[in-house]
Structure 1
Amino acid sequence: MENFQMHATTLSGLEELLAKELTELGAKKVETQKRLVTFEGDKELLYRANLWCRTAIRILKPIDLFSAYSEKELYSEIQKTNWSKYIDNKNSIAVDVILTKSTFQHSLYTAQLTKDAIVDQFRERTGERPSVDLKSPDLRVVLYINKNKVSVSLDTSGQSLHKRGYRTQTHTVPLNEVLAASIVLFSKWDRSSAFVDGMCGSGTILIEAAMIALDIAPSFFRKKFGFMTWKDYDKVLYTKLRSEVERRRRTTSLSLMGCEVNKKTCMMARDNIENAGLSKFIHVYNKPFEFFEPRRSSGTIVMNPPYNSRQKIQDDPNEKYKMIGDTLKKNYAGFDAYIFTGNLEAAKKIGLRASRRIPLHNGSLDCRLLYFEMYSGSKEVREK
């Protein structure tokens, strides 16, 4: 099969993780940019990337690159592509536009103009035109316009890859699955020792950790991808790759535990874990973190405590973060501890010196993944 260029989008700070995933899948000429990894591969790699990349948001296939300084030029350039290669007039389309420092000021209007250029081509040739379906189109076209440079791509993923399909319920501010997976991948967890989430919410980090350890594809529950409605969709190839996904579940003994103080949220976590088929491996307890004891001498503990930003919390954040530090010292000597937070001031109250501070973003929030090496025995926890 012929190789071609592809782009994988991700969240800020995850570019190197995604590049590693793509390289392990067999991608060539892998290069990182801001929230983007470019690479080359064939159709099989395109399908594999959608099935197996835990840190990708979308896999895009670029089809054109040009300069446009006016609406007329943009319309003309879009019409130069033979869109009948990808869809028929009975199919549906959608157009997404991302603008950066561009003379084109309005993304919705630019998307409308691009859509007009595509459907007008069909109307002129056949007398009929594709319809528009913003939610589930047969072909989603993505334009990135930086100043006057226009990159045109096809979205191969369809629905965002962070939507795994196992979450039936979430609490007020759920953690993005891609971000949850990255927290596990950034950690030193060996995928067999104890793994604890001290404030597990609806269970996303625990589920992602179990799927990583069991070698379950992140898209295991997905039924549809954008490339399935393309004219060149290879159903035989995809069925073969999908069968590999079904077979690659490891059998292993895991010890994943979580605690959640809110009873309703705890039930959500249990429901999501059951929906993912992981109840055998993950146990969630309706307890406050400070009263939960892991009964293990070593392992990995992660936490995504409230930031007091998008989340409304009753407790003083400074007191909450102080409690986290006190509990880590008391109950988790011998563990590797990772705290993901967007409240960098309150995080100082943890009272431990971070061995590593990984800059990440949760939406628009500037966050850090803080790593604390908790010593046991004669080597006491290092404090400020």
Structure 2
Amino acid sequence: MENFQIHATTLSGLEELLAEELRGLGAKKIVSQKRLVTFEGNKELLYRANLWCRTAIRILKPIDSFSAYSEKELYQEVQKTNWLRFIEVHNSIAVDVILTNSTFQHSLYIAQLTKDAIVDQFRNHTGERPSVDLKSPDLRIVLYINKNKVSVSLDASGQSLHKRGYRAQTHTVPLNEVLAAGIVLLGKWDRSSAFIDGMCGSGTILIEAAMIALDIAPGFFRKKFGFMNWKDYDKELFAKLLGEAKRRRRSTKSLSLMGCEVNKKTCGIARDNIENAGLSKFIRVFNKPFEFFEPRCSSGTLVMNPPYNARQKTSQDLGEKYKMIGDTLKKNYAGFHAYIFTGNLDAAKKIGLRASRRIPLHNGSIDCRLLYFEMYSGSKDK
């Protein structure tokens, strides 16, 4: 198969994790940039990346690049691409535009202009034009414009890859699955010892951890990817890759994953999502507060995403909640690796423990940290 350039987008702070995942899949000439990893591969790798990359948001196939200094020039350059190579007149399209330090100011207008250039080309050649479907198009086109440099790509993923397909319900502020997987992968969990989420919400971190330990492809539950609508889609090749993914799953591995959630309704949602992922055998969720949960093991990994009042609301004073977390860690989790993901560093000071690592991450636009606390048994000096 012919090799070509491929781009994988991700969240800030997860670039090196994504590069490592792609390296493991056989990608070549890997280059990490901010929220982006570029690499070379063939059609099979494009499919594998969509199926297996836990920390990727989208997989893109660049098809053109050019400079444009005016709207007229942008329109003319887009029309130079032979769009009939990629879609039929009866197909639907959508255009996404990302602007960085550009003289173009309005992404929605640039998207409209790009769409006009494409449909006008069809109208001139066939007398007909493809339709526009912003939600579920047959072909999603992505323009990335940095200053006056324009990169045009086809979106091979379709829906964002964080939409795994197992989550039927969420609580009010669900954690992005890609971010949850990144948090697990950044930790020191050995994928066999105890794993606990002290405030598990709708169960995302627990599910992602179990899928990592059991070698379940994150895209396995999805019914559709963008590349399935491409004219060169190889159905037999993707069926082969799905078969490989099914055989890799370690269904008999002994795991101990536990979570606790104080809200009864949210706890029920977590259990439903875990069941949808086929992981009820490996994950138990308890409807109780973190401070009253007993781990029943002397070591393991604890991960928590407590409220931090930026997106999540809590009736308890935030300082008191974080102090409770610290007190509970000292009381019940000696011998554990503890990871607290938070967007409120002032509140995190109330934990009362010194973090060994402070890993910068983002939850949407919120600047966050993954704090690592090594909970020693007895004195650290022993």
- Partner AA of 1:360 in structure 2: L
Runs of 4+ more than 6 Å apart: none
Alpha-carbon shift at residue 308 of structure 1 (Å) = 1.1
Instruction: Tell me which residue corresponds to 1:303.
Output: 304
Consecutive unaligned residues in structure 2, runs of 5 or more: none
Could you state the TM-score of these two structures normalised by the residue count of structure 1?
0.98
RMSD, matched Cα? 0.9
Residue 258 of structure 1 aligns with which residue? 259
Corresponding position of 1:354: 355
1:369 aligns with: 370
Q: Secondary structure at the match of 2:296?
A: coil
Question: What secondary structure does 1:371 align onto?
Answer: strand
Deviations 1:188-240 (A, max 9, x none): 00000000000000000000000000000001101111011111111111110
In structure 2, what is the Cα distance between the partners aligned to 1:142 and 1:165? 23
**Corresponding residue number in structure 1 for 2:150:** 150
Q: SS state of the match for residue 95, structure 1? A: strand
Q: Partner of 1:97: helix, strand, or coil?
A: strand
TM-score by length of structure 2 reads 0.99
Question: Where does 1:15-34 land on structure 2 (aligned, <5 Å)?
Answer: 15-34=15-34
Question: Is 1:291 equivalent to 2:277 in the alignment?
Answer: no
Match of 1:281 in 2: 282
Q: How does 1:30-179 map to 2 (within 5 A)?
A: 30-179=30-179
Matched, 1:267 2:271: no
Q: Which amino acid aligns with 1:281?
A: F
* 1:195 paired to 2:199: no
Question: Matched residues in 2 for 1:380 and 1:309: separation?
Answer: 38
| 1:280 counterpart SS class | coil
What is the CA-CA distance between 1:104 and the residue it aligns to? 1.1
Q: Distance in 2 between matches of 1:255 and 1:34?
A: 35
Which amino acid in 2 is paired with 1:204?
Answer: T
Q: What is residue 320 of structure 2 aligned with on the other side?
A: 319
Once the two structures are superposed, what CA deviation does each residue of 1:141-196 show, in whole Å capped at 9, x if it has no partner? 00011111111000000010000011111111100000000011001000000000
| Paired amino acid for 1:84 | L
Compute the displacement of 1:368 (Å): 0.1
Partner amino acid, structure 2, of 1:49: A
Amino acid at match of 1:121: Q
Unmatched 5+ stretches in structure 1: none
Specify the SS of the correspondent of 1:277. Answer: coil
Number of aligned positions between the proteins: 381
Q: Residue 97 of structure 1 aligns to which amino acid in structure 2? A: V
User: Measured at CA, do residues 342 and 380 of structure 1 come closer, stay the same or move farther in structure 2, by a change above 3 Å?
Assistant: farther
Percent identical pairs in the alignment equals: 86
CA distance in structure 2 between the aligned counterparts of 1:71 and 1:185, rounded to whole angstroms: 43
Aligned AA for 1:189? W
Task: Report the secondary structure of 1:124's partner residue.
Answer: helix
| Alignment match, 1:340 | 341
CA distance in 2, matches of 1:208, 1:259: 16
- Displacement of 1:378: 4.0
* Correspondence list, 1:196-211, <5 A: 196-211=196-211
Measure how far apart 1:380 and its partner are.
Answer: 7.6
- C-alpha distance after superposition, 1:329-377 (max 9, x if no partner): 0000000000000010000110111010000000000000000000003
